[in-house]
Structure 1
């Protein structure tokens, strides 16, 4: 397992991370997966207060009770559940963040969060107020670093300009190369880590039947998956190829993979020990389909 520095911080994270959102209600099974992942060298575990109405954080916190120093815990804030449980509303205010962090700390059974992330963001948000909340939590020692989870270039630029974010989580894969045009160079220039999600593009690059995805037609998705299979026919699995494509991007610090089953964890572990893709293999992948770009939030 390779480890990379998170932004300008002293935190080191595994280049393959565990996305906890998909963990089911079976806490015993979930705990076993989390422990196996940690034993394999995965150190960054990403959850959110939104997932399963906080129960996901509770599962992660209980699983790593007594092992806190061995893991990097990342969670998110900004989506506030309604009292009747019918859904959630966006709330990036300072008052809410300072309140919500206490609940996350309690569920995670810890007195600090390694990476606290804003779970979204728009230009209409009170961005200065949001940053003030994160900076206060850093001063208080309740969080070590903060970041945002956003795919919107205009929002990302505002946080790069105004804040000391350590990371930006965004979707990136062979079927979603939009960040290449508008975000990667900026974030790398400012030493801000990119944490990626969606490496498998909902499984379309690995084992799911082709269907339209973003601006790509079913035929284009099928073509991309076929090239992944072609590259994998050498010395890789399709999952290794999909993740390898993501991690070859210099701006990317860690690929956060959603893990729910033993097979998915096995795939993630294999991806961590993969042989790097060759220049020729990367060229085949890049030429598989036209590069897409952001049409909104520019």
Structure 2
């Protein structure tokens, strides 16, 4: 397993991260899967207080009893459940973050988080106040680093300019190259890492039948999948190639993959052990279809 520094922090994360959102309600089964991932060298575990109304954090916390020091534990904040459970509202206020972190710490059965991430954000947010909350939590030793989970270039630019974020989690794949428009270069310049999600593009790059995806019609999705299969004839499985495309960007510290089954864990570990794609292979992938660009969230 390869490990990469997370931004300017002292944190090292595994090149493949375990996306815990996919975990089911069986705590014992989740613990077995997470332990096998840890045994194989996956150290980055990513969850959020939003997932299953906090029960995802509870399950991860149960699994980590006795193994907390082996893990880079990341969770997220900003989506506040309504008292009647009818949904959630966006709340990036300092007071809420300082309350929410205590609940996450209890559910995860830990006294600190390695990475605390704002789970979204807009340029209309009280960004200075949000940053104050994260910086205070760092001073208190409750978090080691903080970041944001966002695809919005304007939001990313504001946090790069104003804060000490270590990372940005964003969707990135051969079928979603919008981060290449501006965000990847900006983050690389400022030594802020990317945690990439959606590397398989809902499985469309790993064997699922083609269908429209973002602004790509099914025919173009099919063309991208065929390019992946072409490269996979030389470089392993389609899943390995899809992940290899993402990890080819130096700014990407980890590809966070949703894992729920043993089969998915095996595929993730195979991707972790795969060699880097050659320049010619990356060119084949990039030439398969024109990159998409942001049409909203400017």
For the superposition of Structure 1 and Structure 2, which TM-score range results when normalised by the shorter chain?
Answer: over 0.9
Q: Does 2:222 correspond to 1:218?
A: no
CA distance in 1, matches of 2:234, 2:153: 36
Structure 2: which 5+ residue stretches go unaligned?
none
Please report the TM-score for the alignment, with normalisation by the length of structure 1. Answer: 0.99
1:237 deviates by 0.3
Q: Deviations over 1:91-119 (max 9, x none)?
A: 00001000000000000000000000000
Q: TM-score, normalised by structure 2?
A: 0.99
Q: Tell me how far 1:29 sits from its aligned partner.
A: 1.1
Between the aligned partners of 1:94 and 1:204, the Cα distance in structure 2 is 39
Tell me the alpha carbon deviations over residues 110-130 of structure 1, each in whole angstroms, 9 at most, x when there is no partner.
Answer: 000000000000011110000
Aligned residue in 2 for 1:174 = 174
Per the alignment, residue 138 of structure 2 pairs with 138
Aligned to 1:90: 90
Asked whether the 8 Å contact 2:235–2:277 carries over to 1, the reply is no
Give the equivalent residue in structure 2 for 1:196.
196
Aligned equivalents of 2:51, 2:235: Cα separation in 1 = 36
Partner of 1:280: 280
CA–CA distance in structure 1, aligned partners of residues 123 and 203 of structure 2: 31
1:228 maps to what in 2?
228
Number of the residue aligned with 1:124? 124
Q: Secondary structure at the residue paired with 2:196?
A: strand
Structure 2 SS opposite 1:146: strand
Gapped runs of 5+ residues in structure 1? Answer: none
1:99 is paired with a residue whose SS is helix
- Check whether the contact 2:146–2:166 (CA below 8 A) recurs between aligned residues: yes
Residue 170 of structure 1 aligns to a residue in which SS? strand
Partner of 2:15: 15
Mapped partners of 1:178, 1:19: distance in 2: 21
Local SS of the residue matching 1:233: helix
Query: Displacement of 1:235 after TM fit?
Result: 3.4
Residue 255 of structure 1 and its aligned partner are, at CA, apart by 0.4
Counterpart in the other structure of 2:240? 240
Deviations along 1:26-73, one digit per CA (max 9) or x if unpaired, are 111111110000000000000000001101001111101111111000
> How many aligned residue pairs are there?
298
Matches within 5 A, 1:74-85: 74-85=74-85
Supply the distance in 1 between the matched residues of 2:220 and 2:5 (Cα, whole angstroms): 36
Report runs of 4+ in structure 1 exceeding 2 Å deviation. none
Aligned to 1:162: 162
Counting only pairs closer than 5 Å after superposition, residues 246-257 of structure 1 correspond to structure 2 as: 246-257=246-257
